[in-house]
Amino acid sequence: MIKILSIQNARDLPIRGSGDLAQYENVVAPILRAVREERDAALLRYAREFDGLAEAPLLVSEGELADAAKRLSPEICQAIGTAASNIREFATAQMPRELFREFSPGRKLGWIVRPLEAVGCYIPSGRYPLPSTVLMTAVLAQAAEVPRVCITSPKPSLEILGCAHLLGIREVYRVGGAQAIAAMAYGTETIARVSRIVGPGNVYVSTAKKLLAGEVGIDFVAGPTEIAILAEEGDPRVIAADMLAQAEHDVTASAMLITTSRRLAEAVSTEIEKQLQTLPTADVARQSIERDSAIFVVPNTEIAVDVVNAIAPEHLSLHDAALLPKIQNAGAVFLGAGSPEAAGDYAAGPSHVLPTSGVARLRGGLTPADFVKIISVQQLSPSALQELSPAITALARAEGLEAHARSVEVRFVQ
């Protein structure tokens, strides 16, 4: 049974840990070191030990990719096409635009946008293989015009392989875990290094990304998935279904309802139990519901919003659209009772790769901006430089950097 907790303000929230990755560093660090030093030899050793690679090659052949695509059902092919089209359309709209203009006479400033040279997409394929994550990562990189996009997945399913082929991705590797992250970060004889690694994974993947951040770009370190639903009224069946949709991901997932209505809280609790009786994934969902999920009953709407902003949830289902201006922290918002989080998981358009464990206080979800560099450009006329000269030279000399000051003044010496 899900917990129903009465809280008076956001400070009363129980602390939910993001998962202590430090305990996994002693396992992951030697794997990273071995792949950096031994390259393919270590990568193959770990892939056979942890991923069940056996004697299969790391790189999936183009023939196998094409064959997988042919074996997909028409319904799956159509679904991939619909989702890819919507994701690409939204990503194109999100792309940063270049600018170069005169801000004051002779002072032209702006920026250019350049794609990263290579991106690695980590695609989970454990309890639930996720071809949707291929779409939610690779399509954004393609929209950003990244010239090389590769995929690593420990046991890529037919759907993952077929989806990659339909997107035109020909570089798919049968390797996962920390060893895959190390290979993409450092490079091996088989897998060339990438500029950024994106995509969710288990604690070993997250720990590897954490340790390698700086060596390679990452999106963020992912923790357990979560949803918060803010609803003061609504259909208990719909709310319960949305909570269970999140809970079935993993036993560590979290589904939360924030409401001012005790009656709604109790009705949703009852409905969760009812729906669990027929849910095929109930063995996972029930553990999530009983361990890390809760219904919070609060005194008023203002405190409900404070609770949401304190949680900074990965997914926020906001039933009252009028409250959107008050939302400060969320990975993605699903506005209105008719917008299920599952739509965002698959086909609505925005990426489902989102910050968890409170990281939504710092950033939103994955966008094409994660796959490009924004490079500033400056062009000064002699008169514009002369106008700035007093400020430049004064600041340079205040810092003891005389050559900086002289590099400006020399341009005006006859």
| Residue 155 · residue 125 · CB < 8 Å | yes
Contact 8, 303 (CB under 8 A): yes
| C-alpha span between 88 and 380 (Å, rounded) | 38
Mean pLDDT score, 253-271: 97
Domains observed in the chain? 22-96+114-219 (3.40.50.1980), 224-364 (3.40.50.1980), 382-412 (no CATH)
pLDDT at 309: 97
The one catalytic residue in 249, 315, 319, 352 is 315
Amino acid in position 231: A
Q: How far apart are CA 51 and CA 124, in angstroms?
A: 12
Measured between alpha carbons, how far is 111 from 113 in angstroms, rounded to an integer?
7
Give the residue among 413, 408, 381 at the shortest CA–CA distance from 397.
Answer: 408
Name every residue whose Cβ is closer than 8 Å to that of residue 274 and which is 6 or more positions away in sequence. Answer: 240
Distance, in Å, from the CA atom of 120 to the CA atom of 403, rounded to the nearest integer, reads 42
To 5 degrees, how large is the angle CA 44–CA 50–CA 68? 75
* pLDDT tens readout for residues 351-386: 999 999 999 999 999 999 999 999 999 999 999 999
Q: Is the pLDDT of residue 245 over 60?
A: yes
Has residue 13 got a pLDDT over 90? no
* Catalytic residue selected from 171, 248, 314, 341: 314
| Alpha carbon distance 337, 237 (integer Å) | 11
Give the mean pLDDT of the chain: 95
User: Torsion over CA of 158, 161, 165 and 169, rounded to 10 degrees?
Assistant: 170
Give the pLDDT band (50/70/90) at residue 19: low
Q: Strand ranges (DSSP E) for 82-185? A: 99-104, 107-115, 118-122, 148-152, 172-173
Strands 372-380 and 107-115, by their bridges, are antiparallel
Return the ∠ at Cα 13 (arms to 7 and 17), rounded to 5°: 160
Mark whether 315 is an active-site residue.
yes
Q: Which whole number is the average pLDDT over 40-69?
A: 94
Which of the four pLDDT bands, split at 50, 70 and 90, describes residue 151? very high
Indicate the pLDDT class of residue 23, thresholds 50, 70 and 90: confident
How far is residue 113's CA from residue 103's CA, in Å, rounded to a whole number? 19
pLDDT for 17 equals 53
Residue 14: its pLDDT value, please?
77
Please report, for residues 26, 46, 146, 147, the alpha-carbon distance to residue 139 in angstroms, rounded to integers and kept in the order given: 35, 29, 10, 12
Unique residue bearing structure tokens 């990452």: 218
Residue 128: pLDDT band with limits 50, 70, 90: confident
Cα separation, 157 vs 59, in Å, equals 14
> Residue 239 corresponds to which tokens in the numbers above?
């709310």
- Backbone region of residue 312 per phi and psi (left: phi > 0; alpha: psi in -120 to 50; beta: other values): left
Lowest mean pLDDT among 5-14, 224-233, 268-277: 5-14
Q: What is the pLDDT of residue 21?
A: 80
Confidence of residue 15 (pLDDT cuts 50, 70, 90): low
Lowest-pLDDT choice from 118-132, 141-155, 181-195: 118-132
- Overall pTM surpassing 0.85 (yes/no): yes
Assign 18 a pLDDT band (cuts: 50, 70, 90).
low
Kindly report which listed range (8-12, 120-124, 251-255) carries the lowest average pLDDT score: 8-12
Question: Are the CB atoms for 292 and 18 separated by under 8 Å?
Answer: no
170: pLDDT strictly greater than 80: yes
Active site residue 165: no
Distance of CA 115 to the CA centre of its chain: 18
pLDDT digits (tens, 9 = 90+) for 178-221: 999 999 999 999 999 999 999 999 999 999 999 999 999 999 99
- Cβ neighbourhood burial of 123 (10 Å; 0-12, 13-18, 19+): buried
Other CB atoms within 10 A of residue 300 CB? 10
